[in-house]
Amino acid sequence: MAEFTLDLNDDQKQVRDWLHGFAADVMRPAAAEWDEREETPWPIIQEAAKLGIYSLDFYAQQFFDPTGLGIPMAMEELFWGDAGIALSIVGTGLAAVGVLANGTEEQIGTWIPQMYGDVNDVKVAAFCSSEPDAGSDVASMRTRAVYDEAKDEWVLNGTKTWATNGGIANVHVVVACVDAKLGSKGHASFIVPPNTPGLSQGQKFQKHGIRASHTAEVVLEDVRIPGSCLLGGKEKLDERLARAREKAKAGGGERVKNAAMATFEASRPAVGAMAVGTARAAYEVALDYAKTREQFGRPIIDNQGIAFQLADMRTQIDAARLLVWRASWMATTGKPFTSAEGSMSKLFASEVAKKVTAQAIQILGGNGFTREYPVERMHRDAAIYTIFEGTSEIQRLVIARTLSGMQIR
């Protein structure tokens, strides 16, 4: 039996240090500028592509790390640099995970490379699930996909919202309803290829935080895509729908995972790692400030009120990281989330990020409330973690249902 260890191996440490250098030298100096501009930082994405950070190969290497720690380690370092820029760099990954979770080998090989482009012409991708009236309530999804058998095409109509890279993406992955009677069990995922007529960007959102990441509505008006763009293929979809219909007729309660939830389950520990990165960044700023800021003739860290806050902050960050690492290890080694460990990691890390960044502002006092120091931006950025890819309330619902076996509402 292999010896249990929480130590990163030499390869992991090398990657971590490489990413940390990029975050410190490239992302942090540009963070305030792109936050103010509220624009996608294309030059930084291109720099990441030149270094090999923004690429399918890099994320594949981290994804297939046998310990499961490659992705959370990478997310933590990049989001330590800056959450908005980091999300612009890794946002394509959610669409890629959607294809990996639901697509065939041919679809994976065809579409994921087009999501990233190349170092001379970088591209981004978008995963489109949420709708104006269907966020946490995925069963209320109104976007429809209708199969045109004569042409072997799917026709998509609807409006998606809160889509990272929505409208500016080269490839869009869209979750749509193919059988409304089945609720969330009647959903499927589709690839919308580049320059497909009928897809357009709607409202671009002016956000509280992560402002360097593009978030917008995606409008689908009679969007026609080839039958081959249904992720997983029609035969697999028909089999899944038939099982769901039989269960519905029999009054059975078999839980059939829909396309969006399969993607979110795979990505929740990664979101937890993002939150850990932001929390760690704010904690380090607060720690350095407390060591150098003097009041009444001594550094403020000499006061228990400050020192104990920092002790709690560090403890919570380390605990969050351990939950994320456990969930990531379980996912990689094929261990089921019998206690909703993925949701646990995302819930706890998200709440820690909000709390720690708020405490960092308090420790810096008036300086923390100004844009001269980065903690106010980190606090604004941290607010998103308890909202996107399943709110904290939804995570608690998932955990409670898993633990109790009851359909808690």
Condensed to tens digits (0 to 9), the pLDDT of residues 195-230 reads: 999 999 999 999 999 999 999 999 999 999 999 999
283-314 pLDDT, tens digit per residue, is: 999 999 999 999 999 999 999 999 999 999 99
Round the average pLDDT of the chain to a whole number and report it: 93
Alpha-carbon distance of 43 to 23, in angstroms, equals: 14
* Candidates 131, 341, 376, 389; catalytic one: 389
- What is the percentage of the chain residues whose pLDDT exceeds 90? 81
Band (183; pLDDT cuts 50, 70, 90): confident
Q: What is the pTM of this model?
A: 0.91
> Tell me, what's the pLDDT at 1?
43
Q: Identify the H or E element spanning 158.
A: strand 153-164
Tokens of 249: 């007729």
d(CA 164, CA 250) in angstroms, rounded, equals 39
**For the segment 51-72, what is each residue's pLDDT rounded down to a tens digit?**
999 988 898 899 889 999 999 9
Give the model's pLDDT for residue 254. 44
Of 226, 230, 222, residue with least CA distance to 198: 222
| The residue type at 259 | A
pLDDT at 136: 62
First to last CA, the chain: 43
> 265 pLDDT band (50/70/90 cuts)?
low
Mark whether 76 is an active-site residue.
Answer: no
Per-residue pLDDT tens digits for 77-127: 999 999 999 999 999 988 998 898 899 999 999 999 999 999 999 999 999
Q: Cα–Cα distance between 13 and 323 in angstroms, integer?
A: 20
Question: How many whole angstroms separate alpha carbon 103 and alpha carbon 113?
Answer: 14
